A and B are shown apart, each in its own frame.
Chain A
Amino acid sequence: MSKCNDISLAVQKGKKNDAVTFVQEALSEGIKAEQILTEGLLPAMDIVGQKFTANEIYVPEMLIAARAMNAAMEILKPMLVDAGVKPIGRAVIGTVKGDLHDIGKNLVRLMLEGKGIEVFDLGVDVSAEQFADAAAEHDATIVACSALLTTTMTEMKRVVEVFVERGLRDKVKIMVGGAPITEAFCKEIGADYYTADAASAGDVARNILVSA
């Protein structure tokens, strides 16, 4: 589908206005919102994510690609809802207490949304208690925590502990990520899933909800 390809390229290059125009064109040509999402936007962010992990592109490119994706998503969202595309599940996401880095967290949110998940973004500097409160309030299945400082990543352990204390641990899957986080750390603190980038975070989250 060449229109979806155009959209994908515009997103990859961070050309927000082009991305928006192409999406509108595609819609008027009768291409379905869902198809634009799965064949245009999501593959674009997959590619961007891979290039970022491979150090082929850096934070600025990543940022503008995410912004273009976000703008396109804003157009598609109401249509996906109208088309009866129900969210496959709910997630809460945030950057842990003491930490204000949010670029990676925002990308993960985008990818989860792209996979049809309803995401409640708690922002930055989110305490373990706030994660638990929000998960309970929104009846979320996924709790996604981001940390970029090695001094704040230990807060993720507290998140796991608070869910245990409140008897909520079995109700949720806890996902952790951010540049300093590793698979070993995830296991050690008793969280459920770690992924190295936003695209794979989307895949893992989807699998959790689909198999639940």
Chain B
Amino acid sequence: MAVSAHTIDVEFVPMLNHVKPAEMGADLQRRIHTATTERSYDQVLLGFGLCGNTIVDLVCPIPMVIPRVHDCCTLFMGSKERFMEAFGDHLSMHWCTGGYFERGYNQGDSNYDWDALSPGQRSAHPEYMQWVEQYGEENAAYIWETMYSEMGTAEAAYIRMNVPAYNDTACEERFSKMVSEQGKTVRILQGDISYLDALINGPWDDARFLTVQPGQRVRALYDMDRVITTQ
């Protein structure tokens, strides 16, 4: 963004909201409203996918560009084609990027000690401690096992973003350790920043991006190709 030809203000949304799509949608709408009333912009660029219907019904008083993706995984992979190639046969394959890992993927945005995610050390995990406090040790253990059970696929993917200023090694190693403790193997995938780059810098071609005009609402199509539309 710093090197973009455009002047861009960035607003980050806490990752925690991901577990509550309905609230996240309301939060996004508020942010869009605030941003567009406080300053005059040409465009809103929404770095979100359909994300469990989070963006359905959003409106924007100025044109808003949204990538045609189900969730950020396609953005990290660089294209629908590359996403389908890697994930088409395992749509639930657990995946991770450096940024995702650092922020704690399904867990909110506090600074987790990811090494604590292995079952033996779960007692040190802040979320686990909170459950113990609220629901007792036995229930907390059950919640943990259900939420972090070794779901299905024998593999988990680490997506290397290969961006110059970022070194993946540390996260990759810790992710690999965590995953192998769950008895899974890690598949390293090469990410591709170009989709995200296009979101920031254009071009916003209709094949990859939906432009929502003032007065239109975001609607879901759910297919693999167009994903979203307007009404």
A180 at the interface (CB under 8 A from B): yes
Are A150 and B50 closer than 8 Å at their CB atoms?
Answer: yes
A16 within 8 A of B: yes
Q: Is the CB of B224 within 8 A of A151?
A: yes
Q: Is the CB of B147 within 8 A of A179?
A: no
CB distance from B158 to the nearest CB of A (A): 19
Chain B residues with CB below 8 A from A125, complex form: 92, 152
Within 8 A of A (CB), among B22-53: 22-23, 50, 52-53
Q: Contacts A14-B139, A55-B23, A60-B135: A151 and B52 contacting too (C-beta < 8 A)?
A: no
| CB of A195 within 8 Å of the partner chain | no
Of chain A, the residue at the smallest CB distance from B23 is A55
B22 contacts across to A, CB distance below 8 A? 55
Q: What string of 1s and 0s marks CB contacts (under 8 Å) between A108-147 and chain B?
A: 0000000000000000110000000000000000000000
The answer, yes or no, to whether B146 is at the interface (CB within 8 Å) is yes
A61 to B92, CA, bound (A): 24
Pick the contact of B146: A55, A103, A148, A154 (CB < 8 A). A103
Q: Give the CA-CA distance A28 to B170 in the complex, in Å.
A: 60
A59 at the interface (CB under 8 A from B): yes
Total interface residues in chain A, CB < 8 Å: 28
State the Cβ distance, A123 to closest chain B Cβ, in Å: 10
Q: Is B220 an interface residue (CB 8 A)?
A: yes
With an 8 A cutoff between CB atoms, is B62 at the interface?
Answer: no
Whole-angstrom distance between the Cβ of B167 and the nearest chain A Cβ: 31
A103 to B145, CA, bound (A): 12
- With A and B bound together, what is the CA distance between A46 and B132 in angstroms? 25
B223 interface residue per 8 A CB criterion: yes
Select B91's contact among A16, A59, A152, A182, beta carbons within 8 Å.
A152
Contact of A100 among B53, B92, B134 (CB under 8 A): B92
Could you tell me if A180 and B92 are in contact, using CB atoms closer than 8 angstroms? Answer: no
- List A contacts of B92 (CB < 8 A): 98-101, 125, 149, 152
CB distance from B21 to the nearest CB of A (A): 7
B222 at the interface (CB under 8 A from A): yes
Q: Which A residue sits closest to B127, measured CB to CB?
A: A60
Are A98 and B91 within 8 A (Cβ)? yes
> Is B70 part of the binding interface, using a Cβ–Cβ cutoff of 8 Å?
yes
In the bound complex, how far is the Cα of B8 from the Cα of A171, in angstroms?
57
Whether A150 pairs with B135 at a CB distance below 8 angstroms is: no
By beta carbon, the residue of chain B nearest A95 is B92
B101 at interface (Cβ–Cβ under 8 A)?
no
Tell which of A58, A98, A149, A152 has the most Cβ of chain B within 10 Å.
A98
Within 8 Å by CB of A150, from B20, B23, B52, B134, lies: B52
6 contacts between A and B (CB under 8 A): A14-B135, A16-B139, A64-B143, A103-B146, A149-B92, A150-B53
- Interface set of B (CB-CB < 8 Å, partner A): 19-23, 50, 52-53, 70-71, 90-92, 131, 134-135, 138-139, 142-143, 146-147, 151-153, 220, 222-224
Q: Which 8 pairs, one residue from A and one from B, show the smallest C-beta to C-beta distance?
A: A98-B91, A100-B92, A100-B152, A100-B151, A64-B139, A60-B143, A151-B91, A151-B70
